[in-house]
Structure 1
Amino acid sequence: MKYLKKTFRWFGPSFGVSLDEIKQIGAEGIVAACQEIPVGDVWPLENIVALKKEIESRGLEWSLVESVNIHTSIKYGLPERDAHIANYIQTLKNLAEIGIFTVCYNFMQLIDWTRTDLDYILPTGASALRYNPIAAAAFDLFILKRENAKVSYTNEHYCEASDYFNGLSTIQRKKLEEAILAGMPGSRALIALDDFKINHATVLKISKEKLQENLAYFLKAIIPEAEKIGIRMAIHPDDPPFSVFGVPRIVSNYEDIKFLLECCPSPSNGLTFCSGSLGASADNDLVKIIEDFGNRIHFIHLRNVSRQGDGSFYEADHLSGSVAMEKLMKAIVKEQVKRKQNGLGIVDIPMRPDHGHILLDDKKRHNDFYSGYSLIGRALGLAQLTGLERGIREGLAL
């Protein structure tokens, strides 16, 4: 039976990790996007072809897209959304024309992910990403200055955030701001705080139910077209999977996933299973999500998080932390067995390691790559996950 397809996310030649380096670590496929195209515009066929040729020139495969980002007009249900949906469909057709049939995307508001520390030093000396709810509250209350934000927090939480913020130097306050405004993979540019505030004020007026309605509208428009051309859409969960800065989350738990898959039933309407995003909440039963929605999982991100008692978490080693990675891998392999037996779905599901630590020689080029996307840390994760998968297959006699 086929193994999981080992893939690696690549952001282009100018972002610290080369295709030649990725090839050396044993990755089979590349996860990439036409990042130079503004969100909402059609990806021209010539740009897609050029990127595919660049990847293939190194003997690698462009396995799937991450991400074709969704314009805010679609997320917020604005009048111009239909035009942007039409552009999105044309991009999918262009991708299918050159043989790209899996597209990861997300419906997150404001930013793609939220961390409060991009250089959290572990006892080993390696560096990881971290989310601290007190630091996030301090940003919300005293940098973002969200209207009526204080009512979102208990008095104890407010006082902790106030003490934390007052204890920061000017440089530390700026570092916290930059960490949060850096949550857009694919660009080194920080989101401007003023732009963040405007966007934030807009999304605060939209309820969770309305955001779900907007997601359903999008899916009902694109999934029939995706199904015609063989495209598999794979939505990424919210990161973290709980409200931050008062913004609702709509792809954070079992019920959210059930809603989005049922609102537009189709093999083309699927999920990117991200163990780190979903695993940041102790309430999520990750094995059950795989077991119940496994036939709609089109892409897998495997990473681990260590949840702390104060609500914080940091990106742990791939095989340690709060997520029982061996149980997840066993559930994934069992899903592959089902697919092989019933002849439905891709057996060699693409998988990539995610958010590797910064360690060893990567510390010398820390500023060359995106936070979480070091070379050696992710290479270590890929090796660990490959060994885990093989061990589980041996145990199951597959």
Structure 2
Amino acid sequence: MRMVFRWFGVGNDTVTLEQIRQIPGVEGVVWALHRIPAGEEWPMEEIQKVKKQAEEYGLHAEVVESLNVHEDIKLGLPTRDRYIENYQKTMEKLAAVGVKVICYNFMVAFDWIRTDFNKKLEDGSRALFYEHAKINRIDPLKLAEMYSQKYTLPGWDPKRPKEQLAALIERYRRLTEEELWENLRYFLEAIIPVAEKLGIRMAIHPDDPPWSVFGLPRIMKNREDLRRLTRLVDSPCNGITLCSGALGADPANDVAGMVREFADRIPFAHIRNVKICGNGDFVETSHRDGSLDLYEVVKAYHDCGYKGYVRPDHGRQIWGERGRPGYGLYDRALGIMYLWGLWDALEKGGKR
């Protein structure tokens, strides 16, 4: 596996490239131009700037996350072709600087959702927390207010007016899952041929959490959804960002089994752990703790001879660190060492 680390850019991250390059086994950064609104073409000079910054510290910039999909594409509006064209142009620019994988998602309105970004755990650390009962009673617009942070959150536009968000939610509530699937098919049929030509692998991220929230359609929730995705456009470039934490929040999902089934369609993996509370709640934990057996997950990748990119995904805030929720330095670095420990043990065990 090829270890990478998500980095949000100069002035938008408490973690520095100098720190990232000191984590053993990390070879590159996972990046994006987070301040460019979804649907806009990325400027080449900004793309080249990030690549240069990474390379100055001996890191590559081969994985982009996220090149966000405009809501008009997800809604299937007549304007979608213009935004798809911008998406294709950005793909061409990214390929020109050596990008190999683009992670994206088809979550509507909210992207990933939590109800508490700083849940205090028994050991004093703080973590991302999802409280199912709170979701059932909170106004989505109130949740949106909570998402306003000093640093940008992935897939979230803090500048979007409340009125616009309210109208968007209502439109999505009238959209069926089958209609959303059809809109995804339309998008993939437009971009996968471009990806094939450019040598880029697209990798869709599952819904997080993997069930409907606020009555909105969600279509990347489980094994059957991933199977359907791979059949929509049957190409190695139509791939999956298999996120153990997102899919693993539903105890019915066998994450290790999914790794084994879809290994050749997983160019990028997020590996993290969650503690499932049994009432729909879950909290993110260290990689070693939690309800998921990450040994079995890593073993599945190892058994399949996985050579794709991996990142530790979210981490807790520990040792007094304060930064972007889920994206501090220390716990993610510890997570990397746990993953490498499992991998190295599997490597050496298999050679005896």
Normalised by the shorter chain, which TM-score bucket?
Answer: over 0.9
1:314 paired with 2:319, answer no
Structure 1 match to 2:332: 378
Paired residue for 2:318, among 359, 374, 384?
Answer: 359
TM superposition shift of 1:196: 2.5
Output the amino acid matched with 1:22: I
What is the rounded CA distance, in whole Å, between the counterparts of 1:50 and 1:79 in structure 2? 34
Is residue 2:12 matched to residue 1:17?
no
Give me the identity figure in percent: 43
Q: Which runs of 5+ in 1 are unaligned?
A: 145-173, 337-346
SS at structure 1 position matched to 2:118? strand
Displacement of 1:38 in angstroms is: 2.1
Answering whether residue 112 of structure 2 is matched by residue 113 of structure 1, we say yes
Q: Counterpart of 2:4?
A: 7
Q: Tell me the CA shift for residue 92 of structure 1.
A: 0.7
SS in 2 for 1:351: strand
**1:167-226 Cα shifts (integer Å, max 9, x gaps):** xxxxxxx7x664456694276837554333121111101000000000011001110111
> 2: CA distance between counterparts of 1:178 and 1:353?
28
Amino acid at match of 1:95: L
User: CA deviation digits over 1:277-299, x for unaligned, max 9?
Assistant: 00000111112211111100010
Give the aligned CA root-mean-square deviation in angstroms. 1.8
**Poorly superposed stretches of 4+, deviation over 4 Å:** 180-183
User: How far apart, in 1, do the equivalents of 2:159 and 2:283 lie?
Assistant: 22
What count of residue pairs does the alignment treat as equivalent?
348
Alignment of 1:143-158 (within 5 A): 144=141
Q: Give me the whole-angstrom Cα distance separating, in 2, the residues matched to 1:36 and 1:77.
A: 24
Mapped to 2, the partners of 1:138 and 1:119 lie a distance apart of: 20
Contact 1:5 1:349 in 2 (8 A): yes
Does the CA contact (< 8 Å) of 2:110 and 2:155 recur in 1?
no
Distance, in Å, in 2 between the alignment partners of 1:245 and 1:186 is: 17
Work out whether residues 34 and 154 of structure 2, in 8 Å CA contact, stay in contact via their aligned partners in 1: no
Q: CA deviation at 1:397?
A: 2.4
Match of 1:97 in 2: 96
Q: Is the radius of gyration larger for structure 1 or structure 2?
A: 1
Deviation at 1:59, TM superposition (A): 1.6
- Alpha-carbon offset, residue 309 of structure 1: 1.7
How far off its partner does 1:13 sit? 1.6
Match of 2:59 in 1: 60
Kept in 1, the 8 Å contact 2:30–2:64? The answer is yes
- Aligned 8 A contact 1:40 1:69 in 2: yes
Q: Deviations over 1:4-42 (max 9, x none)?
A: 111100001212111111111232110001223221111
Q: How does 1:90-239 map to 2 (within 5 A)?
A: 90-140=89-139, 144=141, 178-179=145-146, 184-185=153-154, 189=158, 192-239=161-208
Using the TM superposition, give the Cα deviation of residue 396 of structure 1 relative to its aligned residue in structure 2, in angstroms. Answer: 2.4
Q: Report the equivalent of 1:171.
A: none
Q: Do structure 1's residue 270 and structure 2's residue 239 form an aligned pair?
A: yes
Q: CA deviation at 1:49?
A: 1.1
Residue 361 of structure 1 deviates from its aligned partner by: 3.8
Q: Alpha-carbon deviation of 1:48?
A: 1.1
Q: Distance in 2 between matches of 1:125 and 1:372?
A: 15
2:211 to 242, 249, 258: 242
In 2, Cα distance between equivalents of 1:187 and 1:270: 23
Instruction: Write the deviation string for residues 42-95 of structure 1: whole angstroms up to 9, x where unpaired.
Output: 112222111101111122111310011001110000001111111111111111
CA deviations 1:345-395 (Å, max 9, x no partner) are xx5311001110101141xxx2xx321001111111111111111112222
**Amino acid in structure 2 at the alignment position of 1:324:** D
Contact 1:304 1:321 in 2 (8 A): yes
Whether the aligned pair in 1 keeps the contact of 2:68 and 2:155 (CA below 8 Å) is no
In the alignment, structure 1 residue 301 sits paired with structure 2 residue 270:
yes
Amino acid at match of 2:225: D
TM-score, normalising length from structure 2? 0.94
- Aligned partner of residue 304 in structure 2, secondary structure: helix
Q: Residues of 2 paired with 1:24 and 1:95: CA distance?
A: 26
CA distance in 2, matches of 1:253, 1:241: 7
CA distance in 2, matches of 1:32, 1:134: 34
Q: What residue number does 1:388 align with?
A: 342
Partner of 1:327: 296
Identify unmatched segments of 5+ residues in structure 2. none
SS class of match (1:360): coil
Aligned AA (1:351):
V
Q: 1 or 2, which has the higher helix percentage?
A: 1
Residue correspondence of structure 1 range 338-349 to structure 2 within 5 A: 347-349=306-308
Separation (CA, whole Å) in 1 of partners of 2:231 and 2:67: 22
Q: Which moved more, 1:347-356 or 1:228-237?
A: 347-356
